[in-house]
Amino acid sequence: MIHLLLITIQIVAVVGTVSSSFYYLLCLWSAAAFLREREAGEGARPAQALPPISILKPLKGTDPEMYESFRTHCLQDYPEYEIIFGVSDPDDPAIESVKNLQREFPGRRIKLILCPQILGANVKVSNLAQMLDAASYDHLIVNDSDIRVGPNYLRSVVAPLSKPAVGLVTCLYRGVPSRGLGSQLESLGISTDFCAGVLAAWQLEGGLRFGLGSTLAFRRIDLQSIGGFEAIADYLADDYEIGRRIAMRGMQVKLSETVVETFLPAYAFGQFFQHQLRWARTIRNARPAGYAGLGATFGLPWALLAVACMPHAYWIWGLLGITAVLRVATALVVGRSVLHDERVSRGLILLPLRDILALLVWIGGFTGGVVVWRGESFDLRNGRLTAVQPDAKARETVPLP
């Protein structure tokens, strides 16, 4: 029995290693295609009318470097736009940052909206539905409070919406870590794994079928065509749902040429693991088939396991070497060339640890479905959040940031 188990583990490890190597080749191919498209777009962008834009930023509490991230939205090279911040709690500490922003930029249209209604389990989306009533314009951008952008962000993001076939524009992003191993590992994962997976999906599917919370740019009429924010007020992955529903209507989800930044908190190691586990469960609920397929992407852990099981097989060491080269190449091409993340090179030493933890998180993502969001427990099923009664709360809960 033990011998049969060992043989099974060896087969799984070798198959996982080989499949992951092919996946890394796919990521490199996808990254090269994106770089070619970005270069062509930057060199041939025609002059066009720039529509006025309403930027919607729902807030709850404070995030690292939040005020400086707010400021970058006020320094845009763009003729006409407004920024609408929304909170559900009149005592939210983020309000002070918005008031400071209004004082620093008195010439910029900056609105602060109180959103008292609870329209669904996802309070962020509930706020967005109420903020929309205060938006003056029909071109809308939603992004998270910790997103920092460059001065040409609005020009780059809104440009694809000049084509009627494009219904949504979203952006890749790089993570800026705070102090601590957990924050560094998450940043490394975003730049070398998550965004590589987005590019692979973009290439395989001939475009994206989902959005990313770093940027969601769309027209008001297209939002209304999918039922508005109210239709997704009970969904955890609201960014994914907006993109999916727009794509289902036959419209394109465009991956923008621009890359933004997200600032990560100083996670303790346990907090990092719990955050990754929540992320994994969210993906599993939104894209179950795709989540299962992620098992074929953890090249380094599978290769190390194969070597541990067959240390005297010389060919397995060669397979480990090939896998390691492809993994590092993927990390550098996606992290450095696509995302312009200079920290990737310094973080390569952490790559094996990060990938081993990612495999463990992936396995853990198949278990449990109760999450804690802002102090409340929810059952996550088919992407939807359902409040859990206090006496029915599961012992294992995962805090959402």
Q: Is 41 within the bounds of a domain?
A: yes
Q: Give the helix/strand (H/E) hosting 13.
A: helix 2-43
Full-model pTM? 0.89
Question: In the prediction, which pLDDT does 365 show?
Answer: 86
Buried b (16+ CB within 10 A) or exposed e, 273-298: bbbbbbbbbbbbbbbeeebeebbbbb
Q: Is 68 within the bounds of a domain?
A: yes
Question: In the prediction, which pLDDT does 252 show?
Answer: 96
Q: Which residues pair with 82 in a beta bridge?
A: 54, 109
Question: In the prediction, which pLDDT does 26 show?
Answer: 97
Question: In the prediction, which pLDDT does 140 show?
Answer: 98
Question: Smallest Cα–Cα separation from 27: which of 194, 205, 196, 204?
Answer: 196
Question: In the prediction, which pLDDT does 46 show?
Answer: 54
For residue 208, the domain's CATH number is: 3.90.550.10
Expressed as residue numbers, the domain containing 48 is 1-266+299-365
How many domains would you assign to the chain? Answer: 1
Q: Is 360 within the bounds of a domain?
A: yes
C-beta atoms surrounding 331 within 10 Å? 25
CA distance 352 to 255: 29
Q: Is 38 within the bounds of a domain?
A: yes
SS3 for 27?
helix
Q: Is 146 within the bounds of a domain?
A: yes
Q: Is 252 within the bounds of a domain?
A: yes
Q: Is 388 within the bounds of a domain?
A: no
Question: In the prediction, which pLDDT does 45 show?
Answer: 56
Q: Is 310 within the bounds of a domain?
A: yes
> How does pLDDT run along the chain (401 residues), one tens digit per residue?
787 888 899 999 999 999 999 999 999 999 999 999 998 876 555 556 799 999 999 998 888 889 999 999 999 999 999 999 999 999 999 999 999 999 999 999 999 999 999 898 888 999 999 999 999 999 999 999 999 999 999 999 999 999 999 999 999 999 999 888 999 999 999 999 999 999 999 999 889 999 999 999 999 999 999 999 999 998 988 999 999 999 999 999 999 999 999 999 888 877 788 888 888 888 888 788 888 999 999 999 999 999 999 998 999 999 999 999 999 999 999 999 999 999 999 999 999 999 999 999 999 888 876 665 555 566 777 667 666 655 544 334 333 33
Residue type, 280: A
What 101-108 contacts at long range (C-beta under 8 Å, 24+ apart), as own/partner pairs, is 101/67, 101/70, 101/71, 101/74, 104/71, 104/74, 105/74, 108/74, 108/83
